[in-house]
Amino acid sequence: SLGQNVIVIVPGANLLLNFEDLKRASDVICKAKVVVCQLEINPAVSLEALKMAHASGVKTLFNPAPALADLDPQFYTHSDIFCCNETEAEILTGIPVGNLEDAGKVGHMLLERGCKLVVVTLGAEGCMMISVEEPIPKHVPAGKVRAVDTTGAGDSFVGALAFYLAYYPKLPMEEMIRKSNCIASVSVQASGTQSSYPYRKDLPQDLF
């Protein structure tokens, strides 16, 4: 139905990425401003990339997609920002996320597992953020838009957040998340996944 998320994953080349490839890329990884990982490559390789980045003081943003019920606990401790959607949150914690309160419960549980900052994306409802510093769950709403195709909205959000972390590191986290919500909501108003991502020039310039 319109506005609902349906995703087919064809891993292909992603699963061929291995530790040797990481070694070759270690220079780039350790000099980056932000490293984003998720689970479309072998989870052990993803975790190693997070560890390399983390050890070099690089900001790490982890999106457990597609989610695994038995995620290696080290993913929680090596992610500066742990960002999941409602479905992923439920797979990881067993808690179905139907509202903000549920998202807050998930957030608390993930902080207990060693996360520093958790963002649970809630589709049209925006996000819930919670951190070690601010353990009271905070709702960051998204603007109301007419969703045409929501595939790729999560990646659009994560990509935007990585951009703000790299280029505007002094922005308060809530502001980064609010701006990332705006960019993701632009992406759901067009069809397709990559094809729906806006260019900087086509976005409201107050986002930058």
- Number of independent structural domains in the chain: 1
Q: Does residue 46 lie within any of the structural domains?
A: yes
The pLDDT assigned to 8 comes to 63
DSSP character for 123? G
| Mean pLDDT, range 126-143, rounded to an integer | 96
Percent of the chain with pLDDT over 70: 94
**Does residue 5 belong to any structural domain of this protein?**
no
In the DSSP assignment, the letter for residue 80 is: S
Residue at 86 is within a domain = yes
User: SS3 of 75, please?
Assistant: helix
Q: Which domain holds residue 135?
A: 12-207
Task: Provide the whole-model pTM.
Answer: 0.92
Q: Is residue 4 part of a domain?
A: no
Q: With the C-alpha atoms ordered 81, 130, 113, 122, is the resulting torsion angle positive or negative?
A: negative
Question: In CATH, what number is assigned to the domain containing residue 194?
Answer: 3.40.1190.20
Instruction: Supply 172's token pair.
Output: 């308060």
Q: Which residue matches tokens 């608390």?
A: 108
* Integer Cα distance of 150 and 190 in angstroms: 9
pLDDT at 1 (0 to 100): 47
pLDDT tens-digit series, residues 171-204: 999 999 999 999 999 888 888 777 778 899 989 9
**155 has catalytic annotation:** yes
| Catalytic hit among 21, 155, 202, 206 | 155
